[in-house]
Amino acid sequence: MKKTILAIMLALALVVIPAGSALAADVSKEVTVTASPAILSFDVTPTAWPIDGTNLIIRDTPYYSKPDGGDDTVVPTNPVNATECRFTFTNTGDVTIDITVKMADFMKTGTPPTAITYMANDGFGYTVNGVDEFGASGYIEDPGPWPPAPEVIFTEAGNLFINDLPATGADTVKWGIALLTQTNSFLVDEDIQSIVTCTAAEVGP
């Protein structure tokens, strides 16, 4: 009888112990991962150029975007002085950037401008113009030479203008626009405007 009882107890032990292990609760621990994304961000200032300070332009004449109070008809020095550049690019982000610039045709002012083109971008740069066509290029501060070399033409489609502007504490570069107006006389007494679009792209690692 004792042997029978002992055998039954051993059998129960073999059954109960594995079942108890299978029902044990899992234990979890969490690891929190944090990260600060590097963002692309930049500014351009100012955001307007009233040519020659008066908005009046003359046919077949070159203009250079000087700061307020400067004479837009005076050719920049060689190398270009920062004080001769109206505009400033500032890399306000955390990554190195390339900046592409495009310049639209001149149209009647308004929001949006009318679809009537008054002076078209010929796409050949600031030394080339034509009938109802202007040319435009960009220039940068010292060590940027004058004439600009290599010349970056501001076309309607856009061209790469600034390479590898680093993000080292809001790094900046001063720049300007050289523009040659159309060869023929202006026949319409209306204000016209062109939109210059500056686009930044992150430089890959």
> Tens place of pLDDT for every residue, the chain, 205 residues?
544 444 444 444 445 455 555 567 899 999 999 999 999 999 999 999 999 877 789 999 999 999 999 999 999 999 999 999 999 999 999 999 999 999 999 998 766 656 677 899 999 999 999 999 999 999 999 889 999 999 999 999 999 999 999 998 778 999 999 999 999 999 878 888 999 999 999 998 7
Quote the pLDDT of residue 10.
42
- Strand 159-165 and strand 97-103: pairing? antiparallel
Assigned fold of 43-202: Immunoglobulin-like (2.60.40)
Q: Where in the chain are the domains?
A: 43-202
Q: In what order do the strands lie in the sheet with 97-103?
A: 159-165, 97-103, 196-202
3-state secondary structure 66-111: CCCCCCCCCCCCCCCCHHHCCEEEEECCCCCEEEEEEECCEEECCC
Work out the angle at residue 128's Cα, subtended by the Cα atoms of residues 117 and 57, and round it to the nearest 5 degrees.
55
Give kind and range of the element (H or E) at residue 179: strand 172-180
Q: Identify the H or E element spanning 63.
A: strand 62-64
User: Does residue 122 sit in helix, strand or coil?
Assistant: coil
One-letter identity of residue 9: M
Cβ distance 176 to 76 under 8 Å?
Answer: yes
